[in-house]
Amino acid sequence: MKNVLIIFTLLFAITSKAQEMKFGKVSKQEVEEKFYPLDSTADAAYLLKKRKTSFKYDLNEGFIVVTEYHERIKIYTKEGLDYATKKINYYKPKTGKRQEINGLKAYTFNLEDNDVAKLKLSKKDIFDERLNKYRGQKKITFPNVKEGSVIDVKYTLKSPFWSIKPLNFQYGIPVINLDYTVKIPEYFLFNKTSRGYFNVPLKEASQRDQINFGARGNLGYTQKIYTFNKKNIPALNDREPYAGVINNYRGGMEFELSGTRFPQSMYKNYATNWVDVCKNIYDSKSFGEELKKTGYYKNDLTPIIAAAKTNYEKAALIFQFVKSKIKWNDYNGKYTEEGVKTAYKEGVGNVAEINLVLTSMLRSSGLDANPVLVSTKNNGIPLFPTLDGFNYIIAKVNFPNGKYVLLDATDKYSLPNVLPHRALNWYGREIFKGGSSKEVNLVPTTHSKKSSILHAKIDELGEVSGMYRKSLSGHSAMYFRKSNNSKKEEEMTTSLEEDNNIEVEDFKVVNMDILGKPVNQTLKFTSEDLIEEINGKLYFTPFFFLAEDENPFKSEERHFPVDFGVPWKEQATISITIPEGYTVESSPKALAIGLPENLGVFKYMIGVQGNKIKVSSVTQFNSHLINPQHYTALRDFYKQLVEKQTEKIVLVKSNEK
């Protein structure tokens, strides 16, 4: 009862201050607090997440959008120190209209000599960096931050563009007090769309305001006021397994400008559709015009495809050439920056430059190829047609039989229809000549595969020796190549020995650089740690070091999907020779279980013939995404899978049976 009262007192003290939180004034109690009462595992928490967006009239520029931010963060742990650096991205092209960040102020508060010490952010702690020719970033490094610190920051973002940045309700740490206000004059019409799995109730009101035109007088108007207030919002972070890009699942609201209706003017429609969006992008000089250029590679194309006998081979040869010709500079973008000619000549470019070169070369070779607009996983999922929804391009080649391949030449290890993880974000849009488009599924329909074959022999002392072969194809092969491309065989061998309690000899990996073939790994091994001897009986799991020995899904419930990235399938075939003079006293039973809606299946089969034990297992997921309503079923599915793969066989001496 005492603990409950303490937590209640802490919560009351924290939440009751929501309306009192003035910038630069922090209470001693806030600095002294050791943990967040509702989640003691939180590394930090937003004591206040405040935002106010409004439209202001400027006599020179007209309406501009002004957003004021005030954030107060409490640091609880060493890991929470990551929040001592804040990055603010804004639109800052080299020419034309741009956004501005003004009034940036911040403080760090610590407890010193039993009193609150306040340290002001200095100019040397603020860095203004250019990310690319369109984007800038203010980077703030808070001074003297340590465990227990409270940091307080405020700033204003001014934008000449009539767009409202998405409102996020959830973050990787808890939000104790959320206070958002959006004010929209009657001249602007916005559509509102909720996203994620956490909702904050919307309150709507209206009030009168006016524009002062000086000597010309005032103009009164009505504006709508939307407020969002919530206390103690739980964190949503990627500590859960297979979280995917957690930002896609956090609660929030999007505002989309649908139209304007100014005094003495006709209604202007801003609501976009995919036709308008794609045509706008295609007509850009940094997209469609770049795609039409061909002269810079004209002399190279013929020898590249000279050996091709089919259209598939032609596409593959051009794809491999572009991958080797132009290195990705790690910049995303649907528009070129330096241009396709420069990228081709200098051998480096952004995503748009590389894959527009690829698309153009494919077209020039006679193939039906088009660019595909993509939103990377970190960029989120476009909820409605918008120019800002896409930040990436890949290429698509269509064949007469109705089949097609998706290609991304930015990644050394990518293959046709094996896209980098960053691009596997639901759907893209294929843009045809002229700007029309259609939806394209980016997630592969074929399974990424892992196949394991294990031959093991047990001697009478309980030592195991054998041969293990693993074969990887699809995305499994891509991820293995990316993770191990710089490792020597000795390093991989050491990892296998330490992770699996085995001694490895004759280790070999083939096809690491032959991308069209599966990666094959083979090894011979011995181990004295895989068999347990109790009272003359031998106990072991027939999966040995291949067993899934822990359920990754430990939480009782989950409020966002499980994201495997791609559909996948794992097969294991195991053959075990038991020692002479022993027989099987007990062994696991066969099992076959499935998930709802044919989402996945697990099959386990076992047979004993003389001194041979044969085991086979298949785990298969037919969808990359498991929605929250099936989480309980998935958790139980894995519980049974782990129990079965770790269930033991018992061997007994024949004369003792």
Indicate whether 516 and 467 sit together in one domain. Answer: yes
Q: Do 410 and 464 fall into the same domain?
A: no
pLDDT at residue 238 greater than cutoff 90: no
Residue 5, pLDDT > 50, answer no
Q: Which pLDDT score is estimated for 275?
A: 87
Which tokens hold the place of 586?
Answer: 């007990």
- Taking alpha carbons only, the member of 182, 176, 231, 177 closest to residue 203 is 182
Do 349 and 482 lie in one domain? The reply is no
Residue 405's φ and ψ, nearest 5 degrees, are -130, 145
Are both 187 and 280 inside the same structural domain? no
Q: Beta partners for 651?
A: 538, 584
CATH assignment of the domain containing 437 = 3.10.620.30
Give the type of residue at 405: V
- Indicate if 334 and 452 belong to the same structural domain: no
Q: What is the mean pLDDT of residues 387-415?
A: 94
> Do the Cβ atoms of 348 and 336 come closer than 8 Å?
no
Domain boundary among 211, 246, 268: 268
Query: 284: Cβ–Cβ under 8 A, 6 or more apart, which residues?
Result: 335
The Cα–Cα gap between 545 and 158 comes to: 58
Q: Same domain for 80 and 228?
A: yes
Diameter of the chain measured on Cα atoms? 111
Is the pLDDT confidence value at 3 over 70? no
pLDDT the model gives residue 524 = 97
Domain count, the chain: 3
Judge if 96 and 236 occupy the same domain. yes
pLDDT band at 9 (very low <50, low <70, confident <90, very high): very low
C-alpha 399/C-alpha 314 separation (Å) is 12
Whether pLDDT at 6 is above 60? no
Residue 55 DSSP class = E
Residues 288 and 228 in one domain: no
| 462 and 577 share one domain | yes
User: Are 258 and 297 part of one and the same domain?
Assistant: no
Is residue 135 over pLDDT 50?
yes
Instruction: Calculate the CA 398 to chain-centre distance.
Output: 28
Model confidence band, residue 297 (pLDDT cutoffs 50, 70, 90): very high
Break the chain down into helix, strand, coil percent, rounded to 5: 25, 40, 35
For residue 176, the Cα-to-chain-centroid distance in whole angstroms is 26
- pLDDT for 134 equals 79
CATH number of the domain enclosing 620? 2.60.120.1130
Domain that holds residue 591: 448-656
Name the amino acid, one letter, at 25.
Answer: K
Q: Residue 19: what pLDDT?
A: 53
pLDDT tens across 308-345, in order?
999 999 999 999 999 999 999 999 999 999 999 999 99
Look at residue 542 and tell me whether its pLDDT is greater than 50. yes
Confidence band of 8 (pLDDT split at 50, 70, 90): very low
Count Cβ atoms within 10 A of the Cβ of residue 486 and give its class: 0-12 exposed, 13-18 middle, 19 or more buried.
exposed
From 217, 251, 268, the end of a domain falls on: 268
pTM summary value = 0.86
For residues 657 and 654, give the distance between their C-alpha atoms in angstroms, rounded to a whole number.
Answer: 5
What is the pLDDT, as a whole number, of residue 468? 97
pLDDT digits (tens, 9 = 90+) for 181-217: 999 999 999 999 998 889 999 999 999 999 888 778 8
Tens digit of each residue's pLDDT (9 = 90 or more) over 559-603: 899 999 999 999 999 999 999 999 999 999 999 999 999 999 999
CB atoms within 10 A of CB 387: 15
| pLDDT average, residue stretch 635-641 | 98
Closest CA to 213 of 263, 260, 164, 265: 263
Which CATH number fits the domain that encloses residue 217?
Answer: 2.60.40.3140
Listed range (74-83, 89-98, 311-320, 640-649) with the worst mean pLDDT: 89-98
454 shares its domain with 402: no
Torsions phi, psi for 596 (to 5 deg): -60, 155
Q: Which segments of 306-367 are extended strands (E)?
A: 327-328, 348-349
**What would the pLDDT profile of 341-352 be if each residue is shown by its tens digit?**
999 999 999 999
Q: Which of 640, 501, 472, 502 is nearest to 571 (CA)?
A: 472
pLDDT at 217: 81
Q: What is the pLDDT of residue 368?
A: 97
Kindly tell me if the per-residue pLDDT of 138 is higher than 70.
yes
The chain-wide mean pLDDT, for the chain, equals 92
Cα angle for residues 541, 545, 546 (degrees, 5° grid): 90
Pair type for strands 188-195 and 612-621:
unpaired
What DSSP designation does 415 have? B
Share of the chain above pLDDT 90, in %: 81
Q: Residue 13 — very low, low, confident or very high, per pLDDT cuts 50/70/90?
A: very low
Q: Considering 236, 253, 268, which residue would you say is the last residue of a domain?
A: 268
Burial class (CB in 10 A: 0-12, 13-18, 19+), 292: exposed
Classify 115 as helix, strand or coil: strand
CA nearest to 155, candidates 171, 134, 137, 131: 137
- Percent of the chain at pLDDT above 70? 97
Give the model's pLDDT for residue 18. 46
* Same domain, residue pair 428 and 457: no
Specify the higher pLDDT residue, 131 or 408.
408
Sign of the alpha-carbon torsion through 298, 302, 304, 305: positive
pLDDT given at position 656: 59
Burial of 598 (0-12, 13-18, 19+ CB in 10 A): exposed
Which of 116-120, 131-135, 313-317 shows the lowest per-residue confidence on average (mean pLDDT)? 131-135
pLDDT at 27: 94
